[in-house]
Structure 1
Amino acid sequence: MYKTLDPAELTAFVTGVTSGFGQALARRYVGAGAKVVGTGRRSERLEELKQELGENFHPVTLDVRDRPAVLKAIEGLPAGFAEINVLVNNAGLALGLEPAHEIDFDDWDTMVDTNIKGLLHCTHALLPGLVARNRGHVVNLSSIAGSYPYPGGNVYGATKAFVTQFSLNLRADLLGKQVRVTSVEPGLAETEFSEVRFKGASDKAAKVYEKVEPMVPEDIAEAIFWVTTLPRHLNINRIEMMPVIQAFSPLAIHRG
């Protein structure tokens, strides 16, 4: 019989657990017997999740953009949660859909600080422990936007291309170590993503998912759970996921 890892062996550090993929993954891991350190900026949602998931969930109010806070949070983990062996860099966002010459530069700053620097802060803080214990897995949430450009995707797509390429380079650095790396690259999924992108304009966000069946957070959570519980000799480098209703467009041509 094919033997996968016992989830009870896993202690996962998951960023962005207050909604979407991160929240679904926290539920999936804890439900299977794993421990989860879940981070997010919304303390009230973290407490609600703690009440739901119980003693195997340790909430940490954290903005991953703040490197000193990341270091302090990791140094302050209680004994039962201190030996992290799975890092899921899930926290990220898109802001705006304007073309590059019209967008607010502050939105670019926020996307770079969250999607790139926040991921780097957590990875740099936790990776030495994974290497020292010669056991672990880093999962980075990228996007199909990192591979396929679209109008208005400018810096968001560029940050996700960074995430994918950083994941592959990290894999190269870790050759010979029992530390795995996976880039997970979802397409259209219904979360708070679009509401954040349109800065609370729920009518615009709703139109993104109108008359379609997108992926749901549990789809992505199941993929992450799968790759992190495979036998230790096996590394899934990249997973690109789309709902059936999404595919590829022809290249745009401007006729003028």
Structure 2
Amino acid sequence: MTLIATWAEIRSLYRECHPSVFKASFVRGGLRMVWPSWGLTLAVGVLLVSTWFNGQSPLQGLAALAGTTLALFGMVLARERYCAWHFRDIYARETLHRYSFLRREELLRYALFRDALLARGLGAADIDELARIAELAGQPAQERWISQNLVIVMLVSAIVSLSTDVIKLTDTWIAGKGVVFVFALALVTYLICSVLDGLRSNQHRDRVIQRHLERAALDIARHPEAMKGHT
């Protein structure tokens, strides 16, 4: 198999090792495990509906935005709670509870990726060679994006300022329903960030895969017998 084909297979395997538990956190594990996901989803829905029908207060929009932000943060914590239960064997084996919850998913994905490599019968030398392939096949560093140009930033700032003045003159804003624009802007921002993150994260993901391969090779080389029981 050529270097490029091998690299494509490695990336595909890494994607398969993503701990997808979003749907499961709503339907599996009994009431004790699923109530945070359902409760937070319901809270966000009630908050949005109440804001839509009672948006007269100028602080209502800020309160709704703050409440939604807290609820989304709560969903992140609920997802981490479910991961700790669903992958409790890996959490115990890798002592993931000792790390901050912001790093646990990355380390969990590493453990799943390493176990998948072991399940394919790969040894430390094989994985070390894959790490070398990842280094050679990954994309080189990109040049600075045009959006970081000072002139572009100034023009975008001017457009934002003018757009704000136009929005404040609309009937919706005058009627006290300006929260509609806030949520619309938040949605557009989320979509744009998702697209940009998808475009710019490839290089970072390649480096992460390379690092995971290096970790796996070292883990297996140091503890070959213990690693055999993980597959």
For CA contacts below 8 A with separation 6 or more, give which structure has more relative contact order: 2
TM-score, normalised via structure 1 length: 0.27
TM-score, normalised via structure 2 length: 0.29
Write 1 or 2 for the structure with the bigger share of strand.
1
Larger Rg, first or second structure (1 or 2) = 2
Write 1 or 2 for the structure with the bigger share of helix.
2
